[in-house]
Structure 1
Amino acid sequence: METATGQPRAAADGKPAGSFQIIVFKQGNEEYALSIDQIKEVVITPTITRMPQTLPYIKGVANIRGNIIAILDLEEKFNIKRSEDQHTGNHYTLVVESEDFKMGVLVREVPNTVTIAATDFDEATNIITDATSESNYIKGIIKVQGRLIILIDIFKVISQDVTSALRKSTAA
């Protein structure tokens, strides 16, 4: 179970209690995840219209169910090299919504929903992070079935500059 911020709920000893659900997707050759609470829906990516003067990793805007939303490419934002097998086929968009904005996160494979035991989650307190980053967007690492999955907080990935760009690009 999670708190309203998407963090695993802590037991009396401070460790996460129970289990929680995540959406797992690949970026390059690595697996990343978002808390299911941060995802509104997953759709096949529609046509993306480029917008001038936006950050390079904001690919443009798309019409998803009548809503114009910005499409963000995390591979480009995180400077992740794409796998060779990720250049063809359908792409998917994880639609993320907060009080301030709606946006889509571009993924190249069908994302999976996985239920994780809290004991498989290690918080990011001792993980090497970008010292220049204003906020740590890596929530932790999930160890499951011999895999390491990087759990990120998509809301922390978005800095104020990106939030401003998203508001401009999706203004009606």
Structure 2
Amino acid sequence: MEQEERKDKRDRKVEPMVHLIVFKLGSEEYGIRIEQVKEVTVTPEVARMPKTPKFIKGIANIRGDIIAIMDLEERFHIRLPDDAISLGNYKNTYTLTLEASDYTIGLIVREMPQSLTIPISQIDKTPAFIQDLNINENFIEGIGKINGRLIIVLDILRILTSDELQQLRVLS
């Protein structure tokens, strides 16, 4: 009997999991793979920089590093709920610090991000019509479905165009 139980356990495949940092933009939930997030901090004072895209709120000093701060709600043109406060003063917001091979950027979010691990089978590919509409913006990795929630999983390293990346490199 014990031998059969051990065989059953060996035969069961361990499903690959994805660890996400989940946050809200507008009223929707978004997730970024945890490997793309260096840290989460309370948003420090942000200094506005001239000649930057509107969605780049400025630069901030995070643990001695000067990094560009981006507002994804503005980047994605997300309309805020009527009761939402503007991110203009950045009080009581959080910044996710993301580190790519050649730049570091901070993303402002309104609420404390949460950690969530879901089976990779629960992430559906992005519907083709969305990919077709956004030829240059294939930054949506998929749509996670868990416990009645829909989480838009972003590939944060694809959010900026090459021109925008060039502007960021000048800031950092």
TM bucket by the smaller chain? 0.7 to 0.9
Give the unaligned 5+ runs of structure 1.
Answer: 1-16
CA distance in 2, matches of 1:86, 1:23: 22
RMSD between aligned residues: 1.6
Task: Determine which structure has the larger helix proportion and give its number.
Answer: 2
User: Is the Cα contact below 8 Å between 1:86 and 1:109 reproduced in 2?
Assistant: no
Further displaced range: 54-63 or 118-127:
118-127
3-state SS, counterpart of residue 119 of structure 1:
helix
Local SS of the residue matching 1:136: coil
Q: Residue 47 of structure 2 corresponds to which residue in structure 1?
A: 49
Q: Does 1:100 align with 2:102?
A: yes
SS at match of 1:85: coil
One-letter amino acid matched to 1:68: I
Per the normalisation by structure 2, the TM-score is 0.84
Measure the CA separation in 2 of the matches of 1:77 and 1:87.
15
Match of 1:147 among 142, 146, 149: 149
Tell me how far apart the structure 1 counterparts of residues 23 and 138 of structure 2 sit (CA, whole Å).
20
Aligned residues: 154
**Partner residue in 1 for 2:64:** 66
Is 1:85 equivalent to 2:84 in the alignment?
Answer: yes
Gaps of 5+ in 2: 1-14
Taking the aligned partners of 1:24 and 1:86, their CA distance within structure 2 comes to 20
2: CA distance, partners of 1:31 / 1:166: 26
Counterpart secondary structure, 1:129:
helix
CA displacement at 1:102 relative to structure 2? 0.4
Identity among equivalent positions (%) equals 44
Q: What TM-score results when the alignment is normalised by the length of structure 1?
A: 0.84
Structure 1 residue 131 displacement after superposition: 3.0
Distance 1:130 1:67, change over 3 A: farther
Return the offset for 1:141.
0.2
Question: Structure 1 counterpart of 2:84, which letter?
Answer: D
Q: Which amino acid aligns with 2:62?
A: I
